Structure 1
């Protein structure tokens, strides 16, 4: 990796925030201190992202990473501790972009239009994490600064700046994998189909190849519910009623596999760290959150530089082997 804001700060003996101010708000830094920072930058070959160079001098030099409070929902995957890794990958993707710029990033959690508008007054751009309802999308209608929305978008045609995944395509990838394995009678384990749009989209994609798939719907993440699902699945296996298993996410699949052992082809969704400790070969679908949020950060910096944008889709990919799964976690 080339020179970063942090490496310039270290050489100049200042904070990263000071480096950011030198490029974004030079009037707030003494001439001698600014020259020290610029000299370190020249020596290291540091070149801020072009978006930073075009930042208006009255700007804050700050990008807001905004999460929404997902309250009153029967299920939200992001509230489960077992999904913390996903957020970590997303942040790593953003950091890879911002480290090459002079932007600072701050984190906010909002739930109302008023709170979002207050955040907009403290920054120059907003990167919104997991905007998954039209109500959340609508909150940005009055935001006057550049913003990018990601990643489980509702599909609204009015969104101009977004980076999203394709859950329907991911479900089709699951089905293609089981087809390659010779599966003719798959079982699909899911839940909350009425309230969680991505779950419905994944099942819809799976049905492209298996229109008559047997579906078991449960309350994912609830221990007692999975005990019942495990008994049903074991009965189906004993009756030779299924010859392959797909699940809407890895939590559902591994909750099952911790309770029963099967010799069937199996495919989850998310390519989670659970694979690194599970001994049997299992496939999964990677959303690629690191790549998705890396592109979202790049798109936001482009908007701040005055470039026109649009929506970008980062397609999920099938992870077939342990070696592929491990690559998802390489630094």
Structure 2
């Protein structure tokens, strides 16, 4: 016979209200009491009726994460942090990816009555008005990679890409590099890639003989995988323009670019230094090991959930920005020409 909330309360020696509090928000209940309840839940294999709960609490205890793709392990780590933190608060997380279906996901979130959504897809992949429609329906939103969002309506957690790019440019300049290329692959819209502004600002500040001519913006539908990095680097090489360092929008693009450079007989880092963004594990096991701008991605995902949870419980919106750390490895060195 299926265990009930009353059975759990009886075994734990508490009220049914306490059982509900533990299952809905363990932080409200003394730890020793919560532990008793959770032990009883496990012993009885109690499974609460989520539909009935959502009707009484007006909360579905479901969240959504919208991504372009899980092919980039950068997003996988963020999802892991977000999902772990959400599970601790008894939320079920729907992970949604798909190049051509993002708008459909936003419509489905309304019919499924999710409580909140973390959007980590670049805005040109979907209609931004869709997220504002969710807000009007009472669904809380946290966005990342969307610096043009209306922060009166949605919360935002971002990486300080512009500051990170400035640090990279200073680092390469001190190594003697002046002809520095940047492979964006995201177009020139600063709302989607603030690294470009950091790059161009430093070109001007350091009076470097590069800039727009060594900026690879990519083509629509913009994508930033290893194959793209390979093709972008071939485009740069085939242009015949001189460069001694390449900064890439992410590590996957950097790894693809390194393959193209090697195939063309260009040595890394002896002839050209290469730097990526994100700090994914692949970079440590490439040859040579990739210099990158890194961050704690699991922690980033946890923080995204904390912001979303706070917005759902307390209301309002918030903003948080993460600084990145330069991890120097073997793909960069002193300029030799």
| Unaligned runs of at least 5 residues, structure 1 | 1-13, 19-28, 69-77, 323-331
Tell me the equivalent position of 1:155: 148
Matched, 1:31 2:30: no
Shift of 1:298: 0.8
Matched, 1:48 2:26: yes
The 2-side partners of 1:256 and 1:224 are apart by 4
Residues 49, 102 of structure 1: 8 Å contact kept: no
The 2-side partners of 1:150 and 1:287 are apart by 18
Return the TM-score normalized by structure 1: 0.67
Shift of 1:186: 1.3
Residues 231, 257 of structure 2: 8 Å contact kept: no
Shift of 1:208: 1.8
Return the TM-score normalized by structure 2: 0.66
Cα distance, 1:286–1:309 mapped onto 2, change above 3 Å: same
Alignment of 1:290-309 (within 5 A): 290-306=298-314, 308-309=316-317
Tell me the equivalent position of 2:279: 271
Shift of 1:151: 0.8
Shift of 1:61: 5.2
Cα distance, 1:91–1:156 mapped onto 2, change above 3 Å: closer
Higher relative contact order (CA 8 A, sep 6+): 1
Shift of 1:275: 0.8
With 285-294 and 102-111 compared, the bigger mean Cα shift is at 102-111
Residues 183, 247 of structure 2: 8 Å contact kept: yes
Shift of 1:31: 0.8
Three-state SS of the structure 2 residue aligned to 1:280 is: coil
Three-state SS of the structure 2 residue aligned to 1:111 is: helix
Tell me the equivalent position of 1:10: none
The 2-side partners of 1:64 and 1:156 are apart by 20
Cα deviation 1:227-280 (Å, max 9, x = unaligned): 7336437x55xxxx3332212222332222113223133211222232122132
Tell me the equivalent position of 2:235: 229
The 2-side partners of 1:130 and 1:166 are apart by 17
Tell me the equivalent position of 1:22: none
Matched, 1:249 2:256: no
Aligned pair partner of 1:203 in 196, 202, 210: 196
Alignment of 1:13-28 (within 5 A): none
The 1-side partners of 2:190 and 2:201 are apart by 20
Residues 247, 253 of structure 1: 8 Å contact kept: yes
Three-state SS of the structure 1 residue aligned to 2:123 is: coil
Matched, 1:92 2:80: yes
Residues 48, 102 of structure 1: 8 Å contact kept: no
Q: CA-atom RMSD, angstroms?
A: 3.8
Shift of 1:289: 3.4
Residues 80, 298 of structure 2: 8 Å contact kept: yes
Number of aligned residue pairs: give it.
271
Aligned pair partner of 2:103 in 93, 103, 111: 111
Residues 178, 266 of structure 1: 8 Å contact kept: no
The 2-side partners of 1:87 and 1:148 are apart by 18
Three-state SS of the structure 1 residue aligned to 2:201 is: coil
Three-state SS of the structure 2 residue aligned to 1:155 is: coil
Tell me the equivalent position of 1:26: none
The 1-side partners of 2:28 and 2:199 are apart by 42
Cα deviation 1:176-235 (Å, max 9, x = unaligned): 321232322212223341468433x212111221134341424553488347336437x5
Alignment of 1:71-90 (within 5 A): 78-79=68-69, 81=71, 83=72, 85-90=73-78
The 1-side partners of 2:13 and 2:136 are apart by 38
Cα distance, 1:79–1:107 mapped onto 2, change above 3 Å: closer
